[in-house]
Amino acid sequence: MELRQLNYAVHIYNEKNISRAAEKLHIAQPSLSQQLAKLEKELGVELYHRTTNSIEPTYAGEVFVAKAQQILDLVEQLQSEMNDISNLRKGKLVVGTLPLTGAHILPLVLPEFAKRHPGIEVTLVEDTTANLEQFTADGRVDFSLLTLPVDEPSLVVRPYATEEICLAVPSTHRFAEIPEPIPVKALKDEAFIVLKKGNGFRKITLNICEEAGFTPRIVFESSNIETVQSLVAAGMGIALVPNMIAESKKGKYVPVYKKLTDPAPSRTLAVAERRGRYFSKAAEAFIQTLIEVTPKAFRADKS
């Protein structure tokens, strides 16, 4: 049994499709199928049930992949330690990120990190909060950039920034011309546009409304914050948005952004890592860069 065979089995499990797994692994699909058959013959068990349109793990496959993932994770941690010994001259980081946060922070972080540590390769994994928590717990990413709260008990978090949450309203809305901050409880009867389930900021929106004593009336849902804002600008409802979004949107066809009060809501951005997992010097260097450049994400000029 070889490490590459463990990697093949894990990729097939994650993709639930041999062709997609082969594409991710950059090998031919027939070659991957042959390697899987060879591994199953060596083990004396069938790891996957194959049908015309799908491939599903057997009980043996579930057990094998769980152990294989642990072994591959240990190998990656060992590689990270060896890279640290080589004093950050080379290495690799796999970073989990939320689409909303990553789109505004990572374009500032990645160029600066690459300038400081050109030998470190960074791979991004963009997904929902729930999936990123699981990927971090499984060791599929070195750490993830999430927002609090984090529910997965095996993870520890390091807050690195707090930002204000704003209200987005259409330009024709009665709140648009009010100069004072809007009390959150005044939103009780409004039509809300929110992100779909699985997005961390949706949970933040619902929690803010709950703390103000009401359940929001949701009229539209989207997986994209840009779509949410476009719907608000079109007069379809209101939305809560992070300040970094409000600061980045200037122009004619955008919502009007208002401050909120009683209380003024905010969200906390955090790095989540698995408890007890080796955290490399490259990862620490990335976090340090993140902390230094993140304040720029909250400024309109980004200078």
Structure tokens at 216: 């929001």
The residues spanned by each domain of the chain are 3-71, 88-160+268-298, 163-266
Structure tokens at 253: 């066809």
Question: 14 pLDDT exceeds 70?
Answer: yes
Q: Residue-wise over 237-252: b if at least 16 C-beta within 10 A, else e?
A: bbbbbbbbbbbbbeee
How do residues 91-123 score in pLDDT, each as one tens digit?
889 999 998 888 889 999 999 999 999 888 999
How do residues 241-276 score in pLDDT, each as one tens digit?
998 888 776 655 689 999 999 989 999 999 999 998
Helices (H) then strands (E): counts for the chain: 10, 13
CATH top-level class for 163-266?
Answer: alpha beta
Predicted pLDDT at 254: 82
Degrees, nearest 5: CA angle 303-126-228: 70
Overall pTM > 0.95: no
- Please name the CATH architecture into which domain 3-71 falls: Orthogonal Bundle (1.10)
Proportion of the chain above pLDDT 70, given as a percent: 95
88-160+268-298 and 3-71 share a CATH fold: no
Q: Is the peptide bond before 263 cis (omega within 30 degrees of 0)?
A: yes
Question: 53 pLDDT exceeds 90?
Answer: no
Q: What is the dihedral of CA 97, 99, 100, 102, to 10 degrees?
A: 50
Question: Which of the two residues, 83 and 281, has the higher pLDDT score?
Answer: 281
Question: 303 pLDDT exceeds 60?
Answer: no
How do residues 208-236 score in pLDDT, each as one tens digit?
999 999 999 999 999 888 899 999 999 99
What residues have CB less than 8 Å from 278, skipping those under 6 apart? 77, 80, 81
Residue 203 near residue 248, CB atoms below 8 Å: no
Q: How far apart are CA 165 and CA 239, in angstroms?
A: 10
How much is the mean pLDDT over the chain? 89
CATH top-level class for 88-160+268-298?
Answer: alpha beta
